[in-house]
Amino acid sequence: MTKRQEFRILKTYSEFEIREYAPCVIAEVKTSSKYSDAASSAFGSLFSYISKGNKTEAKIAMTAPVITAQRFDNLNEDEWFVSFVMPAGSSLADMPLPINSSVVLRELGAEICVAASFRGKATTALSAKKIAELRAAAEKENVTLSDETRVARFDPPFKPGFMQYNEIVIPTI
C-alpha cells in the first residue's frame, strides 16, 4: 500500500480537523496552467524523478497524496505547485538531485493545517466549493488560515470519480 504523509490530529470539529503535519521533503514542479491541467502537466516530471532519481540512485517509493497547491485562494489563476511528498524521515541530503531542472526539492518543517476530506473527482468546480466550505467553517471556529490552498489527491486518475478520495488542506497562521 502507498504510504501517506504523516500527521497527527490535534482537534476535530464537525466539518474539519486541525492537524500537525510532520516535517517532510517534497519534490515540486511549478506549472503555469489551469487547475484542471496542473497535476497532469507536472506529474510526468515528478514521476520520472522518483522512478529514476539521478540515474545512479535507487527508485524512491511513491507516497500519497499528490498535492496541487496555490499560494493564494483563487482556482482560476494559472500558477500551481504540484508536489510529491518524499518518504517519511527523508532529508534533503538523502535525496538524489533531480535531473530535470523543473523539479525542485524543498524541506518543510512541521506545520499546523486545517483539513477536510471529500469524495469525487477533484474538478475545478468541486474543489472550489470544498475550499470555500472549509474556509467558512474555519472562520466560524475563529481559526485563521493562510492564503495557501492545497488540493490533495490520493487516487489515480483512472479510478472512477465517485470513488476518488481527496482532501483540502490549508495551513493556519
Over residues 4-25, the pLDDT tens digits come to 899 999 999 999 999 999 999 9
CATH code at position 124: 3.20.80.10
What confidence category does residue 157 fall into, taking pLDDT thresholds of 50, 70 and 90? confident
- If you count them, how many residues does the chain have? 173
How far, rounded to the nearest angstrom, does the alpha carbon of residue 71 sit from its chain's CA centroid? 12
Whole-model pTM: value is 0.91
| Assigned C-alpha cell, 99 | 535531473
What single letter denotes the amino acid at residue 157? P
- As a 3-state breakdown, the chain gives helix, strand, coil percent values, each rounded to 5, of 25, 35, 40
pLDDT for res 3: 86
What confidence category does residue 53 fall into, taking pLDDT thresholds of 50, 70 and 90? low
Check pLDDT > 90 for residue 142: yes
- Under 8 Å between Cβ of 90 and 84: no
Q: Which has the minimum average pLDDT: 23-37, 48-62, 119-133?
A: 48-62
Residue 2: exposure state from Cβ atoms within 10 A (0-12, 13-18, ≥19): exposed
Helix locations, the chain, DSSP H = 35-52, 124-140
R_g over Cα of the chain: 16
Average pLDDT value over all residues in the chain? 91
d(CA 158, CA 113): 29
Domain residues for 64? Answer: 3-171
d(CA 145, CA 172): 4
pLDDT for res 48: 92
d(CA 16, CA 133): 10
Q: Which has the minimum average pLDDT: 1-5, 108-112, 163-167?
A: 1-5
d(CA 8, CA 91): 20
Nearest CA to 85 out of 101, 74, 102, 69 is that of: 69
What confidence category does residue 75 fall into, taking pLDDT thresholds of 50, 70 and 90? low
Check pLDDT > 90 for residue 45: yes
Q: Which has the minimum average pLDDT: 61-75, 92-106, 114-128, 159-173?
A: 61-75
Give the total number of structural domains in the chain.
1
